[in-house]
Amino acid sequence: MSKFTFEEFKNLLLQAKNFYSFKTFENYKNSESFIIMRHDICPGVGNPLKLATIESELSIQATFFFSLDSNFYNFFSENIQSIVKQLRSLNHKIGIHFDVNKYHSEEEIMFNLSHQKEIFSNILGNAPSSFSFHNPVKDSISFFNKESYLGMCNTYSNYFMNEIGYCSDSNGLWRYESAFDLVKNKKYKNLQILIHPIWWAENVKTPYDKVSKDLDENSAKILEKWVKNRNKRGRKVEGLAEGNNK
């Protein structure tokens, strides 16, 4: 059973570096024995900067995929935009985490994916080069098997899902197989590892506790900002302890 701690994450990367080179969805071709590190920011945000810093210190470049319509965070918020900026300063890539299940046809999916690419491009200053699907139902992406759409790498292409190894820490548990076992046994020549920052923490916690903590902290930040904005305008917040009305 994995502890899903930051220390364990670092140990995984150190072990992997003995056998593999680390690549991104942009530069994996013509490489041998590589791992691509993918980070989907869902369901909550977690601490992507902690994982990103560990990777950066080990000269590993990863891709962090953000959603424009998450129920757990606002991509346009000051907090998330600050995280994105810091991730890019650490030389990591930013991609689109796309909820394909909201749409009902290939034409509708392509239209909305193109629209989201435009939004990301305007915010980032350059077009995202890859996208991942959020909790895709197999039937909903059965026709999305090519490696590239709209000039972006498809992380759910036939190549990435069927021709190389794949594992995920979905829901706070290793799905398919543990990344530690796959790396230790060198089962696959090439491998895509999906790590969700929400499931990794300083100390051992249950998945429920991690999501609950993330939502509580996010709510507290929003509330604190609201109080500060009210105070700046000289508007006392009724119901707030007197010492905090300043």
Distances (CA, A) of 107 to 20, 112, 223: 39, 9, 40
Task: Identify the pLDDT of residue 245.
Answer: 54
How far apart CA 199 and CA 29 sit, in angstroms, is 30
Distances (CA, A) of 147 to 82, 127, 132: 30, 17, 12
Cα dihedral 178→183→185→191 (10° resolution): 90
Phi, psi dihedral angles at 169 (to 5 degrees) = -95, 35
Task: Identify the pLDDT of residue 243.
Answer: 54
Cβ neighbours of 107 (radius 10 Å): 9
Residue type, 87: L
Name the residue among 168, 175, 152 with its Cα closest to residue 94: 152
pLDDT tens digit sequence for 81-123:
999 999 999 999 999 999 988 888 888 989 999 999 999 999 9
Where is 160: in which H helix or E strand? Answer: none
- Ordered by start, the domain boundaries in the chain are 6-204, 205-246
Long-range interactions of 76-83: CB distance < 8 A, separation 24+: 76/123, 78/225, 79/218, 79/221, 80/45, 81/123, 83/45, 83/48, 83/49
Among 155-159, 200-204, 220-224, 233-237, where is mean pLDDT lowest? 233-237
* Dmax (CA) of the chain: 64
pLDDT tens digit sequence for 117-132:
999 999 999 999 999 9
**Residues whose CB is less than 8 angstroms from the CB of residue 151 and which lie 6 or more positions away in sequence, other chains included:** 127, 129
CATH superfamily of 6-204: Glycoside hydrolase/deacetylase (3.20.20.370)
Among 103-112, 126-135, 168-177, 234-243, where is mean pLDDT lowest? 234-243
Name the residue among 24, 9, 3 with its Cα closest to residue 55: 9
Task: Supply the mean pLDDT for the chain.
Answer: 89
pLDDT tens digit sequence for 22-78:
999 999 988 889 999 999 999 889 899 999 999 999 999 999 999 999 988 999 999
